Amino acid sequence: MTTLPVKALRRRLLLAFGLIATVCTVAIAYYAVQARQHVGADYTSMVADVVRSQSDPQELLMALARLEDDHPDHHAHQDELAELLLRIPRRIMNLRVQILRSDLPPQDFTPLLDEMSLMKERVETLLTRFSRARRDGLDAEEIDALRELGFEIEVGLAWSYSELSLLVQNASAGQRQLMRRLTLAVIGLLVMVLAAVGAVMLMMLRLQRQRDMMRLQSQTDMLTGLYNRRRLQEVAEREFARRRRHPSPLALMLIDLDHFKYINDTYGHPVGDAVLSSFAETLRQQVRGLDTVARMGGEEFAVLLPNTDRRAARQLAERILAATRAMALPDAAADHRITVSIGVSEARHDDSFEHLYSRADRRLYGAKTAGRDRVVSSDALTGVPRGDASPDEGRDAPERHSAS
């Protein structure tokens, strides 16, 4: 009766949680992919420049080894050496700028920068001497001097580039490890967020369930599971409002178990409670889904019947009489049979629920005084004052709409 709001809320919360989980999963996947692609990006170009620069010292020695005037291609070799001597300082300056802009600890790269600066000066010196010797003519003594200076440069640059490559690779590896830890931290954070969101949603669901449970308890008779008087009043007000918009028959029957006090006094209240629960189940089996069945208190019950006129309501009441007579009682009272008295009334055009209830109650009293185990649907048959009964209510009215 009140589970639909909880089910609807559960569906909405599951949908929202699924959406949040999907977004978080996509975000984590995107972050992990981007982290793998861009981790160490600060060192990528530096590593590439170091790798390219590491070939320069060897090329310098090879170029100096081919520095002979009698070599067929000595002019090309000299041009190659000159171009190499111009390129090496530029690469050293480029690496120096990248190192200073990096996150490498200064104490790690300062000796390397000092060595590279010294080698840059020696390369410039070698270029100056080579240019002068090339203009004045290269002799064996000058070539040997150039080669000796080139060897010193090769040793210094080889060491510098090797140490720099190791330093950058270690820094890149450290950054990758840091990014992996950050990725795990981000994943853990998102998992915690999802857990927190899930906990909040679960709490909302539980609060809604508790709210619906409290509402159900406020509208339900705890013994029989039927609606209580308050709920019947709410449904009746809604039905009367609907009748004002769309006129349709509406009937009410009040039911009272005959001699129920005898069952309580003879067999005890637990047996009496079991009888009430069994009778409530019998009512459920006889009525339609759109009918409202309520326990009004004690052994009195009510059934509100939308789209049902007095004759159809009486037919239903007769079926309830027969079903009650055939109802098996609990073991302690198995040899006993129980009956009910029923008062039936149909709402009039200008009725309120209070008027409808009053007539049904008066007819229930008439059924009791007439000998019980019967249905009374007309004041003319009760032997009690008719009060606000209509003139034609003592006769069988034409059947307008039977929905039972």
One pLDDT digit (tens) per residue for the chain, 404 residues: 344 566 777 777 778 778 887 887 787 777 766 666 555 555 677 777 888 888 888 888 888 888 765 555 667 878 888 898 999 999 899 888 888 887 778 888 889 889 989 999 999 998 998 888 888 877 888 888 888 998 999 899 889 888 888 888 887 777 777 777 777 877 787 788 878 888 887 888 788 777 777 777 778 888 999 999 999 999 999 999 999 898 999 999 999 999 999 999 999 999 999 999 999 999 999 999 999 999 999 999 999 999 999 999 999 999 999 999 999 888 778 888 899 999 999 999 888 999 999 999 999 999 999 999 999 998 765 444 444 433 334 333 333 333 33
Residue 386 has what pLDDT? 40
pLDDT score, position 398:
31
CA–CA separation, 230 and 243 (whole Å) = 20
Tell me if 377 sits within 8 A of 392, measured CB to CB: no
φ/ψ (deg, to 5) at 166: -65, -40
Residues 40, 140 contacting (CB under 8 angstroms): no
- Measuring CA to CA, which residue among 80, 210, 60 is closest to residue 120? 60
**What count of other Cβ atoms lies within 10 Å of the Cβ of residue 385?**
9
Name the 3-class secondary structure at 227: strand
CA 134 to chain centroid: 79
pLDDT at 218: 76
Strand arrangement, sheet containing 300-306: 292-297, 300-306, 250-257, 340-346, 375-376
What is the distance between the alpha carbons of residues 47 and 176, in angstroms, rounded to a whole number?
15
Q: Quick one: what percent of the chain has pLDDT higher than 90?
A: 37
Phi, psi of 164 (to 5 degrees): -65, -40
Cross-strand pairs, 304 = 252, 292
Q: What is the rounded CA–CA span in Å between residue 339 and residue 323?
A: 9
* Distance separating alpha carbons of residues 322 and 22, to the nearest angstrom: 59
The alpha carbon of residue 301 and the mean position of all alpha carbons in its chain are separated, in whole angstroms, by 44
How many C-beta neighbours within 10 Å does residue 397 have?
14
Residue 54: C-alpha distances to residues 151, 161, 380 (Å): 14, 6, 119
Model pLDDT, residue 137: 78
Residue 186 to residue 167: CA distance in whole angstroms: 28
With a threshold of 0.85, does the pTM exceed it?
no
Catalytic residues: 299
Question: Cα separation of 126 and 375, whole Å?
Answer: 126
